[in-house]
Structure 1
Amino acid sequence: MVSSTDITSRIIEAVLAQRLAPGTRLGEQSLSMLFDCSRTLVREALVRLAARGIVTVSSRRGWYVVQPSHEEAREAFEARRVIETGLIRSTQHVDKAALKRLRQHLKQEQAALKGDDVGQRSYLLGDFHVCLAECLGNQLLADTLRDFTARTTLIAMLYQSNHDAVQSCQDHVDIVAALERGDSAAAERLMAAHIGQVQAALRLTNPSDPLADLREALAPVREASSAAASTTPATNKRGAKKTPSLPPSDTYLGALL
């Protein structure tokens, strides 16, 4: 029998695997049919996810996966940087069992990089940070990081991150190696640089003119024609060049936008 916790976990996993894009609608009826459960359980799961910042609800559209703004993207990465570097800084020793688990996770990442399953690769790269928090002995922060990692995955999808998955895996290898040496200061620096590189790969620049595309699309057709005519002057029957006439400035819709 599925529970609301199971539904919540499946949705989080789908986000981490980049199988649920920002803005995806999550219909209660569809989910209840998919999980073969009541809409009450689905709604309970969605309410939990909304509280965790993964989904949101609109009175008109219903439930859908969040689409983080530029400011929310900055805040999410800053929160991860503070949590993850702080967690490493406070660690005095990583036991052998934890290091063994981390190395096993790295092997899974490396195997996924050689395969064709992009979703599995994305999930493992994101889950490394959750696994690290668990191995460092803080389950509360691990749960928090799972949500932040899911949100930054959505951000990367929304803003078309070009961060190299191979480089991301190598960063993880270097962080674990530093922890294995007992050099927590180096591990902290590597983690801060890693998160910064992922954030830097996002295309978060705002266009200088938010109406540029609309302005160009709604410009009168004759404006474009006259512009072309100005670059190639026409001639009259006597061979003299004509001066192209421009439309009155008050008819240019772009000026009003």
Structure 2
Amino acid sequence: MYKPSTRSFPVYDSLRQAIIEQALKPGVKLPEDSIGETFSVSRTTVRSALVRLDAEGLVDLQPNRGASVAVPSIEEAHDIFEMRQCLEREVMQRLCAMDRAPVIKALKAHLAEEKKYLDVDTTRSIRLSGEFHILLAELTGSKILANYVNEIVSRCSLVLARFAQAHSAKCGLDEHTEIIAAIEAGDAERATARMHHHLHGVQDRALLNPDGEGEDSVSDILARYLPSNG
């Protein structure tokens, strides 16, 4: 897997977080000069971060045309969700066959964070919802599976940003609770069914929304993601 340089990592991490939290919408241009000025780094450093994001499918980097946040097609959206179903089914099977005590402890701690920011901080709530699924994969102990789930969840964030219809975050929180309960019971069939239902609910909410919002500049958005801002 491609890894950015130490200098470019803060740029990569901040851009990725802004995309996942849907602050940077699909199609938004990512000018290297303004990003470099925001982070006080060179365009070469910015390019290194953009190359990795391009490899992960979050950025579209075109020769002589610059970079922009990737814009998934409706066909890609369906394919992404189908692949996610396959990956998360495997996660459920593995977790239910493991020692579940440490798994449940970690999941319930994360769920408490989700509840804490529900209806309080929308962007953090969006990120925590996706990170729940990444945590599930990480708890299997398989780095390969965790990497694939990490990438597919990130790309789903793009799909939701591109096509999403407004919905209550409480729905996702309740479904996460049901998934944890099934894993705690060691019921792989129920856990898989709950996850399947949950992901279909997310997919069903991914309906075309033609109204684009781009009130802030890229620099203004990324300024909120500088490492010193937490």
TM-score range, shorter chain: 0.7 to 0.9
1:196 matched to 2:196? The reply is no
1:101-112 equivalent positions in 2, closer than 5 A: 101-112=106-117
Aligned to 1:223: none
Aligned to 1:63: 67
Aligned to 1:46: 50
What number of residue pairs does the alignment pair up?
204
Following TM superposition, by how much is the alpha carbon of 1:160 offset from its aligned partner in structure 2, in angstroms?
2.5
Following TM superposition, by how much is the alpha carbon of 1:159 offset from its aligned partner in structure 2, in angstroms?
1.1
1:17 matched to 2:21? The reply is yes
**AA of the residue aligned to 1:38:** S
CA distance in 2, matches of 1:151, 1:30: 25
CA shift in 2, pair 1:161/1:94, >3 Å? farther
Q: Is 2:94–2:140's contact at 8 Å kept on the other side of the alignment?
A: no
Q: Is 2:21–2:126's contact at 8 Å kept on the other side of the alignment?
A: yes
CA distance in 2, matches of 1:57, 1:34: 20
Following TM superposition, by how much is the alpha carbon of 1:2 offset from its aligned partner in structure 2, in angstroms?
5.6
* C-alpha distance after superposition, 1:84-118 (max 9, x if no partner): 01221233124322221110100010111141x21
CA shift in 2, pair 1:164/1:94, >3 Å? farther
TM-score by length of 2: 0.82
Following TM superposition, by how much is the alpha carbon of 1:5 offset from its aligned partner in structure 2, in angstroms?
2.7
Q: Is 2:25–2:69's contact at 8 Å kept on the other side of the alignment?
A: yes
CA distance in 2, matches of 1:73, 1:3: 33
CA distance in 1, matches of 2:199, 2:9: 29
Q: Is 1:130–1:146's contact at 8 Å kept on the other side of the alignment?
A: yes
Q: Is 1:113–1:166's contact at 8 Å kept on the other side of the alignment?
A: yes
**AA of the residue aligned to 1:172:** H
Aligned to 1:234: none
CA shift in 2, pair 1:141/1:5, >3 Å? farther
Structure 1 unpaired stretches of 5+: 206-257
Following TM superposition, by how much is the alpha carbon of 1:173 offset from its aligned partner in structure 2, in angstroms?
0.8
TM-score by length of 1: 0.74
Q: Secondary structure at the match of 1:176?
A: helix
Q: Is 1:94–1:136's contact at 8 Å kept on the other side of the alignment?
A: no
Q: Is 1:162–1:202's contact at 8 Å kept on the other side of the alignment?
A: no
CA distance in 1, matches of 2:118, 2:138: 23
Aligned to 1:72: 76
* C-alpha distance after superposition, 1:113-132 (max 9, x if no partner): 141x2100100011110011
1:138-217 equivalent positions in 2, closer than 5 A: 138-203=142-207
Following TM superposition, by how much is the alpha carbon of 1:204 offset from its aligned partner in structure 2, in angstroms?
5.0
Q: Is 1:21–1:157's contact at 8 Å kept on the other side of the alignment?
A: yes
CA distance in 1, matches of 2:32, 2:79: 30
Which protein has greater RCO, CA pairs closer than 8 Å, 6+ apart? 2
Q: Secondary structure at the match of 1:64?
A: strand
User: Which segment is superposed worse, 96-105 or 157-166?
Assistant: 157-166
Structure 2 unpaired stretches of 5+: 210-230
1:96 matched to 2:101? The reply is yes
